[in-house]
């Protein structure tokens, strides 16, 4: 695919693309849904969770591990699947002070 270099530069700056491969998924208003599209495709090759919007509770993976350093995060360490299912039934909300 041929991309005009001016357009390429603008998109890279707008979506903070610093390297390749990078896949940024955007919504209809061109707002970023995820800048981790490459990891999302690798973690979900069937694209069952497309467009990979952030979820209130997710398993830690290569796809979402960067979110820990990007802002506030709660890391919950569980021993077994029963605990995971119990926590999945709870709706977590972000609290800002």
Model pLDDT for residues 1-23, shown as the tens digit of each residue: 455 565 667 777 887 888 788 88
Q: How many CB atoms lie within 10 A of CB 63?
A: 21
Burial of residue 52 (number of CB atoms within 10 Å: 0-12, 13-18, 19+): buried
From CA 84, how far away is CA 77, in angstroms rounded?
Answer: 9
Model pLDDT for residues 43-52, shown as the tens digit of each residue: 889 999 899 8
Q: Are 24 and 39 a contacting pair, CB within 8 Å?
A: no
Instruction: Give the model's pLDDT for residue 3.
Output: 56
Confidence tier at 92 by pLDDT (50, 70, 90): very low
């Amino acid at each position: 695919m041929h991309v005009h270099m001016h357009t390429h530069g603008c998109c890279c700056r707008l979506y903070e693309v610093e390297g390749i491969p990078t896949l940024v998924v955007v919504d209809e208003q061109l707002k970023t849904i995820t800048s981790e599209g490459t990891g999302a495709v690798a973690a979900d090759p069937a694209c069952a969770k497309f467009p990979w919007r952030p979820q209130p509770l997710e398993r830690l993976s290569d796809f979402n591990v960067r979110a820990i350093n990007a802002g506030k995060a709660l890391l919950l360490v569980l021993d077994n699947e029963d605990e995971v299912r119990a926590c999945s039934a709870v709706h977590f909300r972000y609290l800002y002070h």
